[in-house]
């Protein structure tokens, strides 16, 4: 027997169907393309830098205190749309009065990540396939190879622009990245170890280009030994890792004089969930609160 629906029941049924449709849409949305959190605060701002057709969006979180004599220190984070809000909340929790500026290097999008841009910006040109047993996805048809260009932009454009906007101690900077961002952090350490005072890599994509970072690490070690055998001044490097496996990059970097290697395993985290705990440890490293 057909029972007619009242207007109220029709409205309720429509709302339920709409909610179900939204939930299914959320399930279909690729991971990382969720809307990015926006920080609405007088000390949080953003600006675009670079070519008009493909600028970087720079997120800037100024400290709540006056700058010390040498200027503010800063932590620069890749994938800034996702990482800047995380670091903002962590600074509020851990060090609200610290003279630490937060800088997120991201893109003019509303989502947490821009997959095509990050695959280009954070990688070297090599695209050798990933072994199938690792279960990892490569860039597909996306362009790669912008790693050096992004590092050049940071050194030649971003740091001078930040210095125009606030008192900045360019000798007291930390670079933080997760996944492909961690790959970029390692490349920055190997190619320009003096550009940053500290480096923090979370689940760095050491599988890239058939283990390219492992080869770079061996060359880095050899270069240090040939140049006197020690990094001076010492450079702290944080490696945070999800799951139970020990990352092979540790063996390549352990024991390098002057490289203060700090390893933090997170067996209960997965690759995606590591970003929060690793950001917390990167900020602690920057603040001098993370022992080796």
pLDDT digits (tens, 9 = 90+) for 96-128: 999 999 999 999 999 999 999 999 999 998 776
Q: What residues pair up with 177 in beta bridges, in sequence order?
A: 201
Looking at residue 15, its pLDDT comes to 40
Tens digits of residue pLDDT in 197-218: 999 999 999 999 989 999 999 9
Query: Which two structure tokens, joined as six digits, stand for 224?
Result: 């240090």
Q: Find out whether 179 and 271 touch, Cβ atoms under 8 Å.
A: yes
Give the C-alpha separation, 278 to 174, whole Å. 13
Give the C-alpha separation, 166 to 64, whole Å. 13
Tens digits of residue pLDDT in 219-231: 999 999 998 889 9
Q: How confident is the model at residue 140 (pLDDT cuts 50, 70, 90)?
A: confident
Strand order in the sheet with 44-49: 44-49, 56-61, 100-106, 72-78, 168-178, 198-202, 235-242, 259-266
- Segments in the chain forming alpha helices (H): 7-28, 80-94, 115-121, 147-153, 159-165, 180-191, 208-226, 249-253, 275-286
Q: Find out whether 138 and 41 touch, Cβ atoms under 8 Å.
A: no
Asked if residue 27 has pLDDT above 90, the reply is no
Q: What residues pair up with 104 in beta bridges, in sequence order?
A: 59, 77
More confident residue, 249 or 210: 249
Give the C-alpha separation, 178 to 188, whole Å. 14
Asked if residue 4 has pLDDT above 70, the reply is no
Lowest mean pLDDT among 111-125, 136-150, 175-189: 136-150
Looking at residue 26, its pLDDT comes to 40
The whole-chain average pLDDT of the chain stands at 89
Catalytic residues: 179, 232, 271
Asked if residue 136 has pLDDT above 90, the reply is no
Domains with residue ranges and CATH for the chain:
32-131+146-286 (3.40.50.1820)
Asked if residue 94 has pLDDT above 60, the reply is yes
Q: Give the angle 240-150-157 at the CA atoms, nearest 5°.
A: 115
Asked if residue 279 has pLDDT above 90, the reply is yes
Give the C-alpha separation, 101 to 21, whole Å. 41
More confident residue, 6 or 242: 242
CA separation (Å) from 208 to 138, 176, 278?
8, 18, 21
Looking at residue 17, its pLDDT comes to 44
pTM for this prediction: 0.88
Dihedral angle computed from the Cα positions of residues 212, 292, 77 and 185, in that order, rounded to the nearest 10 degrees: -20
């Amino acid at each position: 027997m057909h029972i007619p629906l009242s207007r109220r029941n029709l409205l309720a049924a429509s709302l339920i169907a709409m909610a179900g449709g939204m939930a299914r849409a959320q399930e279909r949305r690729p991971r990382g393309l969720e809307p990015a959190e926006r920080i609405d605060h007088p000390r949080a701002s953003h600006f675009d830098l670079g070519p008009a057709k493909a600028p970087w969006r720079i997120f800037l979180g100024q400290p709540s205190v006056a700058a010390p004599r040498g200027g503010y220190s800063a932590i620069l984070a890749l994938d800034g749309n996702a990482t800047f809000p995380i670091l903002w909340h962590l600074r509020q929790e851990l060090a609200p009065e610290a003279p630490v500026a937060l800088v997120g290097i991201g893109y003019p999008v509303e989502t947490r990540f821009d997959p095509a841009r990050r695959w280009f910006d954070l990688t070297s040109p090599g695209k050798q396939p990933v072994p199938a047993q690792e279960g990892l996805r490569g860039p597909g048809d996306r362009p790669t190879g912008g790693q050096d260009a992004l590092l050049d932009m940071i050194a030649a454009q971003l740091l001078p622009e930040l210095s125009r906007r606030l008192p900045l101690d360019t000798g007291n900077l930390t670079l933080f990245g997760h996944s492909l961002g961690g790959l970029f952090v390692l490349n920055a350490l190997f190619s320009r170890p003096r550009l940053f005072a500290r480096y923090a890599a979370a689940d760095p994509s050491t599988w890239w280009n058939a283990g390219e970072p492992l080869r770079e690490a061996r060359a880095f070690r050899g270069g240090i030994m040939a140049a006197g055998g020690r990094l001076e001044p010492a450079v702290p490097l944080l490696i945070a890792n999800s799951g139970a496996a020990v990352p092979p990059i540790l063996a390549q970097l352990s024991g390098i004089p002057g490289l203060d290697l700090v390893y933090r395993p997170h067996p209960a985290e997965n690759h995606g969930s590591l970003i929060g705990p690793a950001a917390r440890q990167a900020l602690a490293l920057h603040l001098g609160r993370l022992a080796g």
